[in-house]
Structure 1
Amino acid sequence: MKTINRFILLFLSLVTFYACEDIIAEDISDDVVQVLFPQNDQIIYSNVVNFQWAELDGADKYRVQIFNSNSGVIRDSLVSQNHVSFPMDAGNYQWRIRGENSAYESNYTFNMNFSVVETTDLADQQIILSSPNDSFYTNNLNLILDWQDLNAADTYNFELVNVTNGESIVNQQSNLTVSSVTLSSTILSNDAEYRWKVKGVNGTSETLFSSRKFYLDRVNPNIPQNTLPLNNATSNINQPINFGWSIPGDTGIIQSTITYTIQFSNDISFSSILQTTDVNGTSFQQSFANAGDYYWRVRAKDLAGNIGSYSPVFKFTLN
């Protein structure tokens, strides 16, 4: 028996040792990230700079700092990949980078000088889309899509594609002289995933298309079904009560994350609301200090802004 116990203790010790090894961060404080682009004194003929570097062993993230010609910090970003892109105006800049993990930071690289030069050649330039954000959900049939003006572009070409319907082109507009497009119900006639694309054009060159997607969803979430506590349940004051509910699956073409609003009242008609709380999941815990009858209900809301109906009202009594 003693031999078996010693074996178990040894096994547990080894497991603990290796588990601790997994969570101990590697010391990278003497290391330096290798810069790939832009190198020192590099000239960039684009309105977007693609910063790139070699991955550093032991680093989970990288801090990128960019300085203007007056040595002022204009970017201080923490990224998890070994590249990042930023739109930049013409001018002279410096940048540096270091690796980081949960416990250590590497040395910063020496500041690298680089210049961004404005050019009329659009081949290496990009359209910077402004709003809405990528993967935006909406139930609004009137939607404004806009982007930043590109100095070298004379006009813009726009395309709207219905991704759900097999990449079908819903709308095309060429030779636009403005940097926005307004969509209406005549264009957005179906709930779907859409991708909008814009490129800049001048007399001798053009950019590639820049694109984002958005989701049109006009279907209200289903009505939640109260599960806990049971209707007419009894509990005690100052004791946590677990409230729970379920909801049938969304039947709409587009599904998005559902959040909930739970309400409490002292009357069944909810003419007076004691409390309204937004909840991310399908459960909620609450205690009450006063005895009496209470009523609760819950409803769902999706990312597009659609709001469902409240669940049937349940009653509970506190003694």
Structure 2
Amino acid sequence: MIKDMQRLSFRYWNKTGFVVLFFVLLSGCEDFIEEDLSDATIEILTPRDGLISSEVTQTFYWEPVEFALNYKVQIARPDFVFIDELVFDSTTSKNTLTVNFTPGLYTWRIKALNANSESPFYYRIFAIDSSGNLSGAQIVLSSPASNAYINQTDPVFSWEVLPGATQYSYKIYEGEFGNSNLATSEINGNATSLGLPISLSERSYEWGVRGENDQSNSPYSSRMLTVDITNPDVPNLTNPGNNIVTTNPTVVFSWSALGSGGAPEFDSLFISSDSTLSSLISSYESTSATFSDSLADGTYFWAVRRYDRAGNNSGLSEVRRITIQ
């Protein structure tokens, strides 16, 4: 009787245990399976289907699709059946992009993507019928990036070709655009980059470019830029002291605070098993001049180096030793 009950109990546990395990695994899979986009629709906002525009700069904008991670956008001339030119082919995580065009008929299509699925393509057509009027066009700037910090005094400025423009006007100002003009350069033809004949000093600038032809000019497109060529100060270590021996595995590392001038700064904490830091155990980035870590028993060496967003860095701090036992 007891053996029969044991067998029955074992069979019951096997069945119920399997069911419970099945549902646990099934619920766990939900964290890894992304939503299927095969039936997703994309609401295209601009440009509208069948648009005929004199503006050579077009902004493409659509409503975000739930569960989509990226969007595949392609633009062909005149269409995708008889392609004369694939004008644009890119994947973006944003729900907008700006492209410049020469006059002609175009078809564009877009689909939503995630790691496991994709939506159908959605198509629209439009035409650019430009008489050479650039007043509504927009220069697309390439580099330096918007609000960039750089450690070069002679950067190269670049932008994309603006169809219909026969030359470009470049300006850079100290501070905001329009204040104390520093340099101006007219560029003929299709050249879309410029190196300044002067060296920039450490400060903030705003630079801009517009397209020009005999009939009209585009507005200036502009970006802010900060030049910083000064290395950050070497961090001063404060805690723990050198050659400390402790039984507490949780160590709070701290050092001098970040500087407040120039490009934003951050620190890298290095923890190694040797004094030359060639056998790194871990490294951490910090903007608070402190970091807490839990270490196993052993001897460790640590140091900090300071960096800034312009690409400058300090020398390495002193290297300290700590033993956990």
Do both share a fold (TM > 0.5)?
yes
Q: Does 1:85 align with 2:85?
A: no
2:90 is the alignment partner of 1:75: yes
State how many pairs are aligned.
Answer: 280
Match of 1:248 in 2: 257
Highest Rg: 1 or 2? 2
* One of 271, 274, 278 as aligned partner of 1:273: 278
Contact 1:141 1:183 in 2 (8 A): no
Note if contact 2:263-2:310 (Cα within 8 Å) is conserved in structure 1: no
CA distance in 2, matches of 1:92, 1:118: 12
Cα shift readout 1:131-184 (whole Å, capped 9, x = no counterpart): 2222221121121112233342222211112227x9623423243224322236
Corresponding position: 1:124 with 2:136: yes
CA RMSD of aligned residues (A): 4.1
Change over 3 Å in CA distance of 1:256–1:76 after alignment to 2: same
Residues 167, 231 of structure 1: CA spacing in aligned structure 2 closer, same or farther, 3 A cutoff?
farther
Q: What is residue 241 of structure 2 aligned with on the other side?
A: 230
Q: What TM-score do you get using the length of structure 1 for normalisation?
A: 0.69
The answer on whether the counterparts of 1:144 and 1:181 sit within 8 Å (CA) in structure 2 is: yes
User: Do 2:273 and 2:280's aligned partners in 1 also have CA atoms closer than 8 Å?
Assistant: yes
> Does 2:64 align with 1:49?
no
Q: CA deviation at 1:302?
A: 0.8
Q: Is the 8 A contact 1:171 1:187 kept in 2?
A: no
CA offset digits 1:199-226 (Å, max 9, x no partner): 1111110111011222111232233233
Contact conserved, 1:46 with 1:119, CA < 8 A, in 2? no
Tell me the SS of whatever aligns to 2:180: strand
- The answer to whether the Cα contact below 8 Å between 1:96 and 1:108 also exists between their aligned partners in 2 is no
Cross-structure match for 1:300: 306
CA contact (8 A) 1:48 1:125 kept: yes
For 1:247 and 1:116, the matched residues in 2 are separated by 59
Question: In the TM superposition, what whole-angstrom CA distance separates every residue of 1:100-145 from its partner, at most 9, and x where no partner exists?
Answer: 999998x757421223456522223222222222222112112111
In structure 1, give the amino acid aligned to 2:224: K
Distance across 1 between alignment mates of 2:64 and 2:160: 35
C-alpha change, 1:136 and 1:91, in structure 2 (3 Å) is same
Cα distance in structure 2, aligned partners of 1:158 and 1:266: 53
Task: State the identity %.
Answer: 24
CA–CA distance in structure 2, aligned partners of residues 173 and 43 of structure 1: 35
Cα 1:67/1:170, change in 2 over 3 Å: closer
Query: What is the CA–CA distance in structure 2 between the aligned matches of 1:261 and 1:170, rounded to whole Å?
Result: 43
Tell me the equivalent position of 2:224. 213
1:37 shift after superposition: 2.1
Does the alignment pair 1:95 with 2:100?
no
Distance 1:316 1:57 in 2: 52
Q: Is the 8 A contact 1:192 1:215 kept in 2?
A: yes
Aligned counterpart, 1:8: none
1:112 aligned to which of 124, 129, 148: 124
Shift of the 318–277 alpha-carbon distance from structure 1 to 2, 3 Å rule, reads closer
Equivalents in 2 of 1:85, 1:249: separation in Å? 38
For structure 1, list consecutive stretches of 5 or more residues without a partner in the other structure.
1-24
Aligned AA (2:257)? P
Matched letter for residue 51 of structure 2? Q
Preserved contact between residue 258 and residue 301 of structure 1 (Cα < 8 Å): yes
Checking the alignment, whether the CA contact within 8 Å between 2:271 and 2:283 is kept in structure 1 is no
